[in-house]
Structure 1
């Protein structure tokens, strides 16, 4: 293999989208991953284009919830007590980022990416002639209890303050749009500028095929180490050493070690372990993604079934999955629909979502342009992948100050 212009480390949705963008700019691109493309977190995400989610998963109420996070193994936000010693420094940084000025910077940074995400995805999917993979038909957040209306109205006001398109729907309007939902629902918020992918894994596969058509090579190799050299980078893999002019680190929750080796910077990267339960006989139950405010999970209609997702667990990269958390999602669905969802043929899944304590990704160009970075998108990796690819394309050929989409400073490596 001749030396490529750039090696992309990571074959998830972000790495693959970036590889295609870079190849279209005339670069010789090689993608390396220990797994086949799309088999990490990109395989099992909720499938929701979550442009409305401009607020981080944690706010000041996390202090009150901490005992429940440690003691309730089935809670929507779970911290494994055995992992607490390792997680504590990360959580301290998270709490520091909840101070008002820091929190507002986080919201502004998420919003800047999310506002561009729908358009970026539509451009990308049209460019590979697969626009049908994304249905930009909105999503719905519902409430069951009358006493939840105050919280719903407060959330609507916060969303409007951030210019997130949002509509209040009565219970009657909810049932008119989604007749399978329960008569007990009191109402909800509809987000018209969102949507869902009918098959998230197929999106990765289609982008891989488009990238290959532009000359991108995909190699199943584990990158072990690396160093910056005079004329580029040298990477040590489980099948030998590879040299390139540039490297893009886009391997999600596994990005910290290589980033430290190449840049000398230890980033506070942890993982939100996400679970889903796939129900193959329920693909037509809902017209769009539906989230429960009280139960804190989402149901997304895909081409091959209904995906229940939304749980977050902090337990690191090594502890085995607790698949009871995936099955708990079915128990959470009971009562939200007129008829109980079928679990016939259901399959549980767990994956690692990369999370930084300020809830923003790292998207940057460092080491004189030899190292590019695109990781840490937490639960918004699918949502922000296409706009991240556009930004990386600009970073690969320009100085950071010249990147137009969106403001780069919020995502710089040197903020840590």
Structure 2
């Protein structure tokens, strides 16, 4: 089966939050867009993310302490940062590049690049959801990082200083302030950091679907196919799918952790993309425990109140795209929650989940237009895909001629940095 290129201006491959937001942006600019995914829209990593608008997270996914943690990463299957030893040979080139990016100059470039996207993300989401008449999907009520151990206070103070050094709005909260704002949390908490310029989504999947419905209303067509290959042709781009070839004039590769193969096929560039396997546990009987997202410093996971209950999320596992999920890591999140509340959480009917977060070793996404303008790229947002989706869509729109002002400079996100 073929699709005539004259019927389209661009094919967007990937119907996660980034791909759908980009498809909507491009359609609103008057382009004829087809959206392609092997799953229904929003059913990949976008379905199960933590729902946190993490504008405060301006630092790369790792620092030099990862060297000390490597033995535990390999030995502890339930640890917050897990590297499957069977995946170690495949992961080593990526980890070497990660360590190289922790040198002072590359690290500063990564922080600047993440910060630029995050600083523009909240306003981008306000504009996007406002254009749908659904601003209430995003609760702009801040988020809280808490700590329990007295010896953690120094680390919290140091983190606050680092955040202030990057102009991240942050407030030091004492234990009594936490008790007033979130009275169901344990009285054993010592204090924390409150980030007022953050928020959370009441239903991440519903947010994707709201954007998708707006995209369809703007003329976007959705095709459920598995794009298995791609090649540049003289007058089109051929996409090899499980249902035949599609020929399109331009393509946007935005299929998350699966983007490297198509990018290489189209550009001959080998992108060092790996995947953080993230887990969540959804508690449907917990609706009023927290007023905002709360992260535990020591336990290293986040709890986000949503319309469907309380979502416990976090932990990072490096095990590739092929190994089956270890759902005990999702249930470990319930065990981690014990002691953080005055009354333990209700885990009846809880559902576990695992998804793939696309990560590059410098913690920056690829946002670019290459191959004489025929190939656009928007992938590799690691655990900030939801946070950065709206601003990424605006930047992709800018690559296709929109005049949105105040967007981050594209240079840090170019493909040719690899």
Q: TM-score, normalised by structure 2?
A: 0.98
Give the Cα–Cα distance (whole angstroms) in 2 for the partners of residues 72 and 27 of structure 1. 49
* Contact 2:276–2:317 (8 Å) recurs in 1: yes
Q: How far did 1:2 drift?
A: 4.2
Within 5 Å, which residues of 2 pair with 1:52-91? 52-91=56-95
Q: CA deviation at 1:211?
A: 0.4
The answer for the alignment partner of 1:242 in structure 2 is 246
Identify which of 139, 143, 155 aligns with 1:139.
143
Name the SS of the counterpart of 2:30 in structure 1: coil
Select 1:341's aligned residue among 342, 345, 350: 345
Q: In structure 2, the residue corresponding to 1:255 is in which secondary structure?
A: helix
Structure 2 unmatched ranges of 5 or more: none
Which residue matches 1:415?
417
Match of residue 9 from structure 1 = 13
- Whether 1:263 and 2:255 are equivalent positions in the alignment is no
> Per the alignment, do residues 66 and 22 of structure 1 end up closer, same or farther by CA in structure 2, a change over 3 Å counting?
same
Q: Does 1:163 align with 2:167?
A: yes
Partner in structure 2 of residue 296 of structure 1:
300
Cα distance in 1 between the residues matched to 2:23 and 2:107: 32
**Aligned runs of 1:152-191 on 2, under 5 Å?**
152-191=156-195
* Number of residue pairs aligned between Structure 1 and Structure 2: 414
CA drift at 1:232 = 3.4
Aligned counterparts of 1:10 and 1:284: Cα–Cα separation in 2: 34
Verify the 8 A CA contact 1:326 1:349 in the aligned structure 2. yes
Determine the C-alpha separation between the residues in 1 that align with 2:236 and 2:112. 34
Q: Give 1:272's match in structure 2, choosing from 262, 268, 276.
A: 276
* Contact 2:18–2:386 (8 Å) recurs in 1: yes
- Select 1:305's aligned residue among 301, 309, 325: 309
Structure 1 runs of 4+ with >2 Å offset = 229-232
Superposition pairs for residues 48-127 of structure 1, below 5 Å?
A: 48-127=52-131
- 1:342 is paired with a residue of what secondary structure? coil
The 3-state SS of whatever aligns with 2:136 is helix
Pair 1:27-2:37 in alignment: no
CA deviation string 1:245-282 (max 9, x = no partner)? 21000000000110000001010000000000000001
Q: Indicate conservation of the 8 Å contact 1:365/1:372, yes or no.
A: yes
**What is the CA distance between 1:396 and its match in structure 2?**
1.8
> Which residue is 1:377 aligned to?
381
Aligned mate of 1:324, from 303, 307, 328: 328
1:46-89 Cα distance to aligned partner (Å, 9 max, x none) = 00000000011210000000000000000000000000000001
**What is the distance in 1 between the residues matched to 2:116 and 2:278?**
24
CA distance in 1, matches of 2:400, 2:76: 45
1:397, CA displacement in angstroms? 2.6
SS at match of 2:339: coil
Which runs of 5 or more residues in structure 1 are unaligned? none
Q: TM-score normalised to the size of structure 1?
A: 0.98
Q: Which residue is 1:405 aligned to?
A: 407
Paired position in structure 2 for 1:353: 357
More off after superposition, 389-398 vs 47-56: 389-398
Counterpart secondary structure, 1:147: helix
Q: 1:390 pairs with 375, 394, 401, which one?
A: 394
Contact map agreement 2:4 2:248 (CA 8 A) in 1: no
Confirm or deny: 8 A CA contact 1:391 1:403 kept in the other structure.
no
2:257 touches 2:274 (CA, 8 Å); kept in 1? yes
Q: CA RMSD in A?
A: 1.2
Aligned with 2:89: secondary structure? helix
- Other structure's SS at 2:400 match: helix
Match of 2:50 among 39, 46, 50: 46
